[in-house]
Structure 1
Amino acid sequence: MTEQPVSLIIIDMQQGMKGSAARPRNNPDAENNIQQLLMAWRGADWPIVHVRHISRSPDSPFWPGQPGAAFQPELAPADNEHIVEKNVPDAFILSGLERWLHVRGIGRVVLVGVSTNNSVEATARTAGNLGFATLVVSDATFAFDKNDYTGVPRSADEVHAMSLANLDKEYATVMCTKDVLKQFKLQAG
């Protein structure tokens, strides 16, 4: 056990992300790794936060009431797990997440979900800046192909790797699922 509570924060694992499959992505096993971590956290009775993106654009699959806004069933929150809704990439902005963590004495967070270079990176930067000991799970996050600023096509692996490089040792520590389970002495789900 750790001396301080550790919260697992699952970012944007919604049905609409499955619809993003038209764009090439990396880490095809990310959902399985997230599920392993979720089961391990549940088994340890540790705090879990599910973040859901709710779009401000009516034509978005993440608009309230659209099927895309729903959580993926295999990663859906249990009744006792906290849900945070956000309208921007960063899960801390106007969501009450920081206060929820502080009220419970949680100073360490483990981030998983999608996409690495957007909501995961934005949330990790803020978590680190707010003083949370932040860990990003490299194989439980994923990114999509994207053109860089100069128009050069970058693969999902390149986008993912650069995003993790932006975070590691600056805002967060980056580890894989197996090492996270080992560090916290958890059993895989």
Structure 2
Amino acid sequence: METKKALLIIDMQNDYFEYGANPLTGSLEASLKAKEILEAFRKDSLPVIHIQHLSVRPGSTFFVPNTAGAEIHKNVFPVDGERVITKNYPNSFRETPLLDYLISNGITDLVICGMMTHMCVDATTRAAKDFGFNCIVISDACATKDLEIQAQTVSAKDVQYAFLAALDYFYSTVKTTREYLAQ
């Protein structure tokens, strides 16, 4: 079977950046790396899918529909012909047309970047693998934040490495932007 790849940019939205409602560590830097990958896909006329999270839960504090914070960040803003799929859950496949879109377009391989590494990137990558897609996660084009558990703070750097290390075994191949673009 012939392979056909697509770029999946998950939740690179304004609320995750400085002055947003839920800023992440390194979001600007990650978006600039994602922009490099995006430009390569555009140059080669390969499919690009933007995932936009809209939080519809009562009391949501970020990604609230019809707010500037929910908009896709300018560094990776979609252009005509790029698919935008909205979601309401961490897994980009849950209750969205993503799977049907990928299958109907013959996509076999996904290059994944986005935010947050520990939540939506992780959930989507695992689901994609379970649906039979080959996945590459671009490590430096993802961002996360400090987490807390049992009164302990886990630094964003440690969260990032732990989740990427877990994905780099069965669920995906993890590469930097430089490694990916050099292949």
Contact 1:116/1:143 (CA < 8 Å) preserved in 2? yes
1:57 Cα deviation after fit: 2.9
Partner of 1:17: 16
Q: Alpha-carbon deviations, 1:117-153, whole Å to 9, x = none?
A: 00000000001111100111111001101113x2211
Question: Identity of aligned pairs, percent?
Answer: 34
Contact 1:26/1:157 (CA < 8 Å) preserved in 2? no
Alignment of 1:1-189 (within 5 A): 3-18=2-17, 19=20, 20-21=22-23, 25-26=25-26, 29-57=29-57, 59-148=60-149, 150-183=150-183
> How many residues get paired?
178
Contact 1:61/1:67 (CA < 8 Å) preserved in 2? no
Distance 1:147 1:86, change over 3 A: same
Contact 2:16/2:27 (CA < 8 Å) preserved in 1? no
1:86 Cα deviation after fit: 0.5
Amino acid in the other structure paired with 2:145: F
Contact 2:32/2:75 (CA < 8 Å) preserved in 1? no
Contact 2:136/2:174 (CA < 8 Å) preserved in 1? yes
Amino acid in the other structure paired with 2:7: L
Gaps of 5+ in 1: 184-189
Contact 1:110/1:134 (CA < 8 Å) preserved in 2? yes
Contact 1:8/1:109 (CA < 8 Å) preserved in 2? yes
1:51 Cα deviation after fit: 0.2
SS of the residue corresponding to residue 68 of structure 1 reads helix
Contact 2:92/2:98 (CA < 8 Å) preserved in 1? yes
Partner of 1:187: none
Q: What is the Cα-based RMSD across aligned positions, in Å?
A: 1.4
Measure, in 1, the Cα distance between the counterparts of 2:26 and 2:67.
Answer: 26
Contact 1:135/1:175 (CA < 8 Å) preserved in 2? yes
SS of the residue corresponding to residue 39 of structure 2 reads helix
The TM-score with structure 1 as length reference comes to 0.89
Contact 1:5/1:47 (CA < 8 Å) preserved in 2? no
Measure, in 1, the Cα distance between the counterparts of 2:79 and 2:27.
Answer: 25
1:38 Cα deviation after fit: 0.5
SS of the residue corresponding to residue 6 of structure 2 reads strand
SS of the residue corresponding to residue 29 of structure 1 reads helix
Contact 1:27/1:139 (CA < 8 Å) preserved in 2? no
The TM-score with structure 2 as length reference comes to 0.92
Distance 1:27 1:158, change over 3 A: farther
